[in-house]
């Protein structure tokens, strides 16, 4: 399987027409590294992920992935380079079964026996999906749906995976399982991970580094463990 690639965001400013929402953001995520992107509701996390996939255009600054400038590149070409986004919750097709959803993710990456092996591997990572493989997407619990969204992204063997609040609305045990699987996959495959979360404790428990965004600006960037233990950061921005 493939190894991760470096993401480099440099002095990025993004807005929606009413003035910038992100100001001068610089973040580097190295191959195989898990970086937690933290911040309250409205801090700008989703906007940053949208700038990576090309859904919103940068007013200034740059984003490079594996050394390639992504400016002006279409979303599908970014995906072909190995950038995968797992949006919050809604990417599962409700009318298709779990198995069909997974096959959709494998479509352009694997054929024949390799496809079957890739699908078996995802079922090995997420046993609840294996048990529910013939259930329709709309019958799944929130946790199962999040596992399926993640499994469907991973099956295409991306080089970087960006997740938007995968723990939103899920029970703590399910969050722990998803986080653990993400951590293990990142280790095994050398996958680069950018994890946007309001669940600070969960995210920092598996991250190498944390980046804290407040009102569209980076207010802290450092070792995950050090951040979690820094009282001034914790009280001011992380809410615990």
Should residue 21 be labelled a site residue for ligand ATP when binding is judged by CB under 6 A? yes
Should residue 47 be labelled a site residue for ligand ATP when binding is judged by CB under 6 A? yes
Should residue 43 be labelled a site residue for ligand ATP when binding is judged by CB under 6 A? yes
Should residue 203 be labelled a site residue for ligand ATP when binding is judged by CB under 6 A? no
Should residue 108 be labelled a site residue for ligand ATP when binding is judged by CB under 6 A? no
The only residue of 41, 67, 72, 90 in contact with ligand ATP, by rule CB under 6 A: 41
Should residue 16 be labelled a site residue for ligand ATP when binding is judged by CB under 6 A? yes
Q: C-beta of 211: minimal distance to ligand ATP in Å? A: 12
In sequence order, what are the residues at sequence separation of 6 or more whose Cβ sits closer than 8 angstroms to the Cβ of residue 31? 3, 4, 5, 6, 159, 190, 192
The only residue of 42, 94, 169, 222 in contact with ligand ATP, by rule CB under 6 A: 42
Q: C-beta of 213: minimal distance to ligand ATP in Å? A: 7
Nearer to ligand ATP, 29 or 48 (CB): 48
In sequence order, what are the residues at sequence separation of 6 or more whose Cβ sits closer than 8 angstroms to the Cβ of residue 129? 98, 102, 122, 123, 144, 147, 148, 151
Nearer to ligand ATP, 1 or 201 (CB): 201
The only residue of 23, 45, 152, 189 in contact with ligand ATP, by rule CB under 6 A: 45
Should residue 44 be labelled a site residue for ligand ATP when binding is judged by CB under 6 A? yes
Question: What string of DSSP letters covers 128-155?
Answer: HHHHTTTSBGGGS-HHHHHHHHHHHHHT
Determine the Cα–Cα distance for residues 202 and 206; give it in Å rounded to an integer: 7
Tokens of 240: 């615990």
Backbone phi, then psi, for 159, in 5-degree steps? -100, -25
Should residue 210 be labelled a site residue for ligand ATP when binding is judged by CB under 6 A? no
Q: What is the DSSP letter of 3?
A: P
Nearer to ligand ATP, 46 or 181 (CB): 46
Nearer to ligand ATP, 42 or 124 (CB): 42
Should residue 46 be labelled a site residue for ligand ATP when binding is judged by CB under 6 A? yes
Determine the Cα–Cα distance for residues 234 and 169; give it in Å rounded to an integer: 22
Should residue 39 be labelled a site residue for ligand ATP when binding is judged by CB under 6 A? yes
Determine the Cα–Cα distance for residues 127 and 144; give it in Å rounded to an integer: 10
Q: Is 4 helix (H, G, I), strand (E, B) or coil?
A: coil
Determine the Cα–Cα distance for residues 111 and 117; give it in Å rounded to an integer: 10
Number of residues that bind ligand ATP (CB under 6 A): 10
Which residues sit at the interface with ligand ATP, rule CB under 6 A? 16, 21, 39, 41-47
């Amino acid at each position: 399987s493939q190894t991760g690639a470096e993401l480099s965001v440099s002095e990025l400013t993004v807005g929606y027409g009413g003035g910038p929402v992100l100001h001068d953001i610089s973040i580097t995520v190295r191959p195989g590294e898990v970086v937690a992107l933290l911040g309250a509701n409205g801090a700008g996390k989703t906007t940053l992920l949208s700038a990576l996939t090309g859904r919103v255009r940068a007013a200034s600054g740059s984003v490079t992935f594996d050394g390639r400038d992504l400016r002006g590149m279409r979303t599908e070409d970014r995906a072909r380079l190995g950038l995968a986004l797992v949006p919050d919750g809604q990417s599962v097709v409700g009318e298709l079964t779990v198995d069909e959803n997974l096959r959709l993710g494998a479509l352009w990456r694997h054929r024949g026996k390799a496809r079957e092996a890739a699908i078996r591997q995802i079922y090995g990572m997420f046993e609840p999906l294996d048990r529910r493989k013939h259930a329709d997407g709309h019958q799944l619990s929130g946790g199962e749906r999040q596992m399926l969204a993640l499994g469907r992204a991973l099956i295409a063997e991306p080089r970087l995976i960006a997740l938007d609040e995968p723990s939103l609305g899920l029970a703590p045990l399910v969050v722990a399982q998803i986080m653990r699987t993400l951590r293990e996959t990142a280790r095994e495959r050398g996958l680069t991970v950018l994890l946007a979360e309001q669940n600070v404790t969960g995210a920092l428990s598996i991250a190498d580094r944390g980046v804290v965004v407040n009102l569209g600006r980076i207010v802290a960037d450092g070792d995950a463990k050090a951040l979690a233990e820094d009282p001034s950061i914790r009280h001011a921005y992380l809410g615990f």
